[in-house]
Structure 1
Amino acid sequence: MESVVRLAISVGGSALVAFVVCRAADLLARFADARHPETPLWGLLRRCRTPLYVVLLAALLRWTYPVAAGRGPAMHTEAVNRVLLLCLIGAGAWLTVRTVAAVVESTYARYAGRSRDAARLRRVRTQVTLIMRVVSVAVGVLAAAAALVTFPSFRTLGTSLLASAGIIGIVAGVAAQSTLSNLFAGFQIAFGDMVRIGDTVVVDGEWGVVEEVTLTFLTVRTWDERRVTLPVSYFTSRPFENWSRGGAEMTGSVFVHCDHTTPVALARAHLQEFLTTCDTWDGRGWDLAVTDTSPTGITVRAIVTAKDADDLWTTRCAVREELVGWLAREHPGALPRVVTAPAAQQAERDR
């Protein structure tokens, strides 16, 4: 009965002390967040409450449990200590990842608040995302290795395999050649500034916005809300279009097929008047000219500009609809016609 009471006191006291410490740390972070609203660090650090509580609880139980267990079975005490040690290692890795994420996100938020360069912000965001993934993987691997080392059998196995580590590394490298190439391509994309989160790209004939970049794959959100997932090695081994490089501003063309009698000067004046009322036109430039002619008609090309790919698409559609509608209302004879009647001279000869 006495041992049960000691165990209850050990568990309850450890949980209470861990709760008090975590509560105090949370209140301190909340106070610091209110005193320093210019940085989100303290607010982000409050996410570490749960892993901090688990770390403190596991550490206190490892310290108090052997005393509370007294003269209990040594095997039982060793098993409980090993379980608590594994919990401590896992919670420590969890706390480390949460803390690093809070610091990195706070640093990026302060940088984003000072910078006005959208392209630089997208590049930094891509790099920050990949760095966090690398840190998470590294901490996870180290935590798993530390957990395995706690077992004596794994320590002996690791010593015996150390001599053959070179051969295993070569075999693993050959077997995972594709995965490793994607991994290195991910670093190349992140720090080579090839593709950034938020860039507008064209892949396989479809354009979309880069939504996610990892060490092994990249996700593109197309205009119709589909997600195209590609290995990062695709962007290092094949040519692709990046419409956001050097600025998001773009120039687009609208082609309209018309009759030879089309009043091009009036159409040019009407296009200029319409663009002044178009919200998606950025005002950088425009033009309208005849770019081709054929025995059945002419090809009129209108050039417009916009601040990004989405606005350019909207502007091109609006210009196309306006020109076709204006010709149909004001100059219906300028619309393309298919000639089915014979020529006048040929008709007289036939008579």
Structure 2
Amino acid sequence: MIPSHTKQNNRLSKRVQAIKPSGIRRFFDLASKMDNIISLGVGEPDFVTPWHTREASISSLERGFTAYSANAGLMELRQEISYYMEERFSVQYDPETEVLVTVGASEGIDIGMRAILDEGDEVIVVEPSFVSYAPLVEMAGGVPVSVGTSIEHDFKVTASAIEEAITDKTKAIMLCFPNNPTGSTLNREELNELVNVIEKHDLIVFSDEIYAELTYDHKHVSFAALPGMKNRTILIQGFSKAFAMTGWRLGFVLAPPDLLAAMLKIHQYSLMCAPTMAQFGALEALRQGLDEVERMKQSYKQRRNFVVKSFAEIGLTCHRPEGAFYAFPSIEKTGLTSEAFAEKLLMEERVAVVPGSVFGQGGEGHIRCSYATSMDHLEQAIERIDALLQRLK
């Protein structure tokens, strides 16, 4: 007789069984059961979506716009996205053939991977990186190949490091800048250094630029804006972070017509379209919400400056993040692993952070701290982290 647990396992895909659950969730689950928690773990704005955006969505419901939109999204929204990307980031996309509205930016990455990968194709994933990249490669049948970065180089990837990882199976590279979890980004000169390698090896570039608007010290440069790169780039963007619309689950993908058509095919069968009422909200956000984006950005920048300065004062090395809303200080001096330190900090001081190890190569020895929370909470969190450090001396 076959044991019942074996039968249960046979019901599941081996590919899915091999993927580990998100390392972030364990700490969130622990924190949710505890009192007096200050969370620096959640990667979302502490701002509520501006009222005029919410009102536009409510109005669309009141006017009866409750049916499916076109699979690729409302044409009016795609046109506005095209205009927005040209005005803000100097990239031109045809709203009819090169713009797809997705259920969050994450869906864009997922269907992009499934559109281009055959079994065994390799995708270079620059790490530390958002936790979903490697699993999405694996679920599409590909093989993630990690290329690590380090605090010594401000977590910036180099062309030589990418080239060393390339094999005859390499199909694409996954970039994220500004980066989650490090806050590091790449300027035009640094991006141009990658171009020759990408052209030489005929790679497709996934460029996750969801934090593009939250770039503090210089203007964000889109990878697709570099000479010759638009035709190689699947550009991932969305409304969650800069527009404070995480729960709306609305993103968009920009890509050459052949790649976008393949992604649209998957999107049609798996999701049909993004929620119509959310699309009307996004349309309003693009038309009338950019001043609020700037105000939120300036608030994050103020908090960034405070957090970096405060970590230095309590003795933790922390590079200066140039974008997003994360700090990634080193806790190596404590002698603890990032997971052990994060668990100790949660249990003893009631501060929730994310261990750097969950973000891949180069993440160990660090913790991710989101500063998308109030200054009062940030001040208290720094005091509590310092209290733990004093006990660990």
- TM-score band (shorter)? under 0.3
TM-score (norm 2): 0.22
Compare the two structures and name the one with the higher helix fraction: 1
Greater C-alpha Rg = 1
TM-score (norm 1): 0.24
Larger relative contact order (Cα-Cα within 8 Å, sequence gap ≥ 6): 2
